[in-house]
Chain A
Amino acid sequence: QQQVKQSPQSLIVQKGGISIINCAYENTAFDYFPWYQQFPGKGPALLIAIRPDVSEKKEGRFTISFNKSAKQFSLHIMDSQPGDSATYFCAASISGGYQKVTFGIGTKLQVIP
């Protein structure tokens, strides 16, 4: 019940295209859903996060869509750039406790020129 399922595990997108990564969770107690970006040799870095009281959050070219009833959320990267090539992790945690973050398996995104 603590799992966060993420797909696809790898994604190749043309420069300027839209990258879409999907995640699903089971535990309805999760109330904070961050996305992390990881470049080779670096630790995960927070990219954008959402709470279930909103259905969408946008920051620049990055948008999270959230469907509470379906227990699904997704990351859209608009106008994808080669510099976006990285591994992306969706995650979930529960407020009100110590912040154990449950990660998805990760998606390796490659944006080709």
Chain B
Amino acid sequence: EPEVTQTPSHQVTQMGQEVILRCVPISNHLYFYWYRQILGQKVEFLVSFYNNEISEKSEIFDDQFSVERPDGSNFTLKIRSTKLEDSAMYFCASSESWAQGRTDTQYFGPGTRLTVL
């Protein structure tokens, strides 16, 4: 069964450093998402991406964050200058299609645990 993969599974970085989290969505999916989950808190939406551009972003997704689809398979989340409060589990998700009145399932990857020291 196709699945979303994410690398690395755990990333440790120093405050102020840049990190890139990588995701390989399911191959025929068109919509891509990043979510994060701070330990003990709920999963929060960060950004959705379609047709090589951001379609929606949350207030969490400030200028320190960026997303990119550098080739036909990868989808990345970059945090430019990490802060202690960026420590969280980051989930990538993808979905196949969307049509008016029909919501398609989002498939989530296993997550990358980011620890900022």
> Which A residues lie at the B interface, using CB under 8 A?
31-32, 34, 36, 41-46, 49, 89, 93, 95-106
Across-interface contacts of B55 in A (CB, < 8 A): 98
* Contact between chains at A44 and B48 (CB < 8 Å): no
Chain A interface, >50% SS class: loop
**Which chain B residues (66-96) contact chain A, with CB distance < 8 Å?**
91, 93, 95
Across-interface contacts of B41 in A (CB, < 8 A): 105
Interface range for B: 20 to 34
* Contact between chains at A44 and B91 (CB < 8 Å): yes
- The 8 A-B pairs at the shortest CB distance, nearest first, are namely A43-B108, A103-B43, A98-B48, A98-B55, A32-B103, A105-B42, A100-B45, A95-B103
Across-interface contacts of B58 in A (CB, < 8 A): 100
Of A43, A101, A105, the residue contacting B111 (CB under 8 A) is A43
A103 and B37 alpha carbons, distance in the complex (Å): 10
